[in-house]
Amino acid sequence: MSDTDAANSMESELARLIHACAARDRHALRQLYDLVAGQMLASMLRILKRRALAEEALQDVFVSIWQRAAQFESARGSARIWLMAIARHRAIDVLRSERVDLYRQADVEQLPHAGMEGLGDWSSAGRSAAALARCFEELSGEQRRGIELAFVNGYSHADIARVTGEPLGTIKSWIRRGLASLRQCLER
């Protein structure tokens, strides 16, 4: 089975399980949990730093999936992105309401790049994994790092300025230009 076939089959399985949750099938929720909870926890922990906080937020995510499953429409986009977006929004909400020490985990240089290595096994709705990886690679190193720190670690502009030692205005410009380049590249 090719990567694309595997990604499509994962997508349809996730969509099927979300629909089953909408029909109140708890076993389907457990299957979803087995498939994506580890990935969600990894991304939430990068933002929230404290495991207890991230695991509590993960509970909220699955209760939310159970309650909102009927709102998911597979025609409107990727099931995996829908699930991961719920996790991400919850982590950001908790980050905003808790006093999370962003620098507790490590010096920024010690944090591994999240990178695009996970892109090989999936593709988002309408955009191939290869296109995303290629466009991300086209960004300058600073733009890529700024976007990664903001998105993957949940850092604000000021946080990034602090850990990189660059002026705030420079950071805002890296990110603004990086996002614009990413958009242009993906829409080509």
Grouping H, G, I as helix, E, B as strand and the rest as coil, residue 127 is strand
> Tokens in use for 146?
């700024």
| Among positions 94, 145, 154, 161, the unique one binding another protein when judged by CB under 8 A | 154
As a dihedral over the C-alpha atoms of residue 118, residue 120, residue 124, residue 128, rounded to 10 degrees, the angle is 140
143 binds another protein per the rule CB under 8 A: no
Query: Is residue 186 involved in binding another protein (CB under 8 A)?
Result: yes
d(CA 148, CA 118): 14
Segment contacting another protein (CB under 8 A): 8-16, 58-66, 102-110, 162-170? 58-66
Tokens at 4, concatenated: 């694309």
Q: Which is nearer to another protein, 1 or 23 (CB)?
A: 23
Dist. CA 99–CA 128, nearest whole Å: 38
**H runs (alpha helix) in 25-101:** 26-48, 51-68, 79-97
Question: CB under 8 A: which stretch of 9-17, 102-110, 120-128, 162-170 binds another protein?
Answer: 120-128
Question: Considering the complex, what minimum distance in angstroms separates the CB of residue 177 from another protein?
Answer: 11
**Which of 20/22 has CB closer to another protein?**
22
Show the CA angle centred on residue 151, arms to residues 145 and 153, nearest 5°.
85
Q: Specify the 3-state DSSP secondary structure of 178.
A: helix
Of 6 and 85, the one with the shorter C-beta distance to another protein is 85
Interface residues toward another protein, by CB under 8 A: 22, 24, 26, 29-30, 33, 37-39, 41-43, 45-46, 55, 58-59, 62-63, 66-67, 70-71, 73, 75-78, 80-81, 84-85, 88, 92, 96, 114-119, 122, 124-127, 129, 132, 136, 147-148, 150-152, 154-157, 175-176, 179-180, 182-183, 186
